[in-house]
């Protein structure tokens, strides 16, 4: 009898989730972007970094001993508890380097999912942007956090780092890349090249997790591996072997990468993700109390 009741309840829940996905014809970003608090339940990253959601999210406080969150009005300082713990560890590492902490940009929305602007990833609570701007000794006001801009650390020619780059920036990225929970760090190619020049022989293993990607000249993007307790989370394939300071990096400074020819026809806009594009469990996450 008990199994029958449980089975009926589960079937009803799945039917409701399917109906929710089918009836919602709008972009999933509108649904997830409107949610202001987390879904109840155990923490779980569901799906892929660019096609998923987050249950049981934890909020990163606006202020911590080694961090300050930026743009708090965006309500994107949520993540899997492992991500919040990572930020705390990186904050401690920054203090040990002599920084007054780190500035934290976007993490995820309260229930993850597609964002209304700015990111294709950051959907499962395992991504976090760390500004490359060194904070001042004094804590910023909320108004300053809303208005202050990050500092570009890449030179105008996009082939080298800016004059304001320091070895401490390299040490901070190295500290993040050495963290056992980190799967990848995305940086501008010029920053990757500088790290390749800076890292000494015998201390280069962490470089394999630092990957070049477009943008990322004001911040570095940390991506954590899928944590325990998230069986539906989809890890990326491991990065290629080696430190990445090879011909694959050289391509990023070619004319093809830096000065691509204009497209013959305007690119077609991408269709925004719908609820049906996400894992079925995300419908329940979006509708949960």
- Residue 126: per-residue pLDDT: 98
What is the pLDDT, as a whole number, of residue 8? 39
For residue range 15-29, list pLDDT tens digits in order: 444 434 444 457 999
**Predicted confidence (pLDDT) at residue 216 exceeds the cutoff of 60:** yes
For residue 233, give the nearest of 126, 100, 98 by alpha carbon: 126
- The predicted-structure confidence for 100-136, as pLDDT tens digits, reads as follows 999 999 999 999 999 988 888 999 999 999 999 999 9
CB contact set of 149 (below 8 Å; sequence gap of 6+): 218
Best CA proximity match to 108, nearest among 33, 216, 28, 44: 33
pLDDT value at 13 more than 80: no
What does the block give as tokens for 71?
């743009």
3-state helix/strand/coil string of the chain = CHHHHHHHHHHHHHHHHHHHHHHCCCEHHHHHHCCCCCCCCCCEEEEECCEEEEECCEECCCEECCEEECCHHHCCCEECHHHHHHHHHHHHHHHHCCCCCEEECCCECCCCCCCCCCCCCCCCCCEEEEECCCCCCCCCCHHHHHHCCCCCCECCCCCCECCCCCHHHHHHHHHHHHCCCEEEEEECHHHHHHHHHHCCCCCCHHHHHEEECCCCCCEEEEEECCCCCCCCECCCCCCCCCCCCCHHHHHHHCHHHHCCCCCCCCCCCCCCCEHHHCCCHHHHHHHCC
Residue-wise pLDDT tens digits, 154-176: 999 999 999 999 999 999 999 99
Query: At residue 212, does pLDDT exceed 50?
Result: yes
- Count of CA atoms in the C-beta half-sphere (13 A) of 45: 27
Task: State the average pLDDT over residues 240-266.
Answer: 90
Q: By percentage, how much of the chain surpasses pLDDT 70?
A: 91
Report pTM. Answer: 0.89
**Mean pLDDT of the residues in the chain:** 90
pLDDT at residue 264, rounded to an integer: 80
Residue 143, pLDDT above cutoff 60: yes
Which string of b and e fits 9-29 if b means at least 16 CB within 10 Å?
eeeeeeeebeebbeebeebbb
Nearest to 195 by CA among 215, 166, 224: 166
The residue-averaged pLDDT of 263-279 equals 88
Question: For residue range 240-250, what is the model confidence (pLDDT) as tens digits?
Answer: 889 999 999 99
């Amino acid at each position: 009898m008990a199994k029958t009741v449980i089975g009926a309840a589960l079937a009803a829940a799945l039917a409701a989730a399917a109906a929710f996905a089918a009836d919602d014809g709008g972009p999933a970003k509108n649904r997830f972007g409107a949610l202001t608090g987390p879904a109840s339940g155990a923490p779980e990253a569901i799906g892929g970094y660019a096609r998923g959601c987050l249950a049981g999210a934890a909020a990163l406080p606006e202020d911590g001993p080694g961090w300050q969150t930026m743009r708090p009005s965006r309500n994107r300082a949520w993540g899997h508890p492992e991500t919040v713990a990572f930020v705390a560890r990186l904050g401690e590492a920054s203090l040990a380097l002599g920084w007054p902490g780190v500035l934290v940009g976007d993490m995820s929305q309260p229930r993850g999912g597609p964002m209304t602007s700015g990111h294709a990833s950051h959907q499962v609570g395992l991504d976090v942007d760390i500004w490359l701007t060194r904070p001042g000794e004094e804590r910023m006001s909320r108004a300053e956090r809303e208005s202050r801009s990050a500092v570009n650390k890449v030179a105008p020619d996009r082939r080298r780092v800016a004059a304001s780059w320091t070895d401490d920036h390299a040490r901070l990225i190295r500290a993040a890349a050495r963290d056992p929970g980190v799967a990848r760090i995305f940086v501008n190619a010029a920053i990757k090249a500088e790290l390749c020049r800076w890292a000494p022989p015998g201390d280069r293993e962490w470089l394999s997790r630092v990957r070049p990607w477009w943008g990322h000249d004001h911040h570095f993007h940390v991506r954590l591996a899928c944590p325990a307790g998230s069986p539906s989370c989809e890890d990326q394939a491991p990065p290629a072997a080696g430190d990445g300071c090879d011909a694959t990096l050289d391509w990023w400074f070619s004319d093809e990468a830096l000065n691509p020819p204009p497209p013959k026809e305007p690119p077609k806009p991408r269709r925004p993700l719908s609820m049906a594009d996400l894992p079925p469990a995300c419908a329940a996450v979006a509708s949960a109390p």
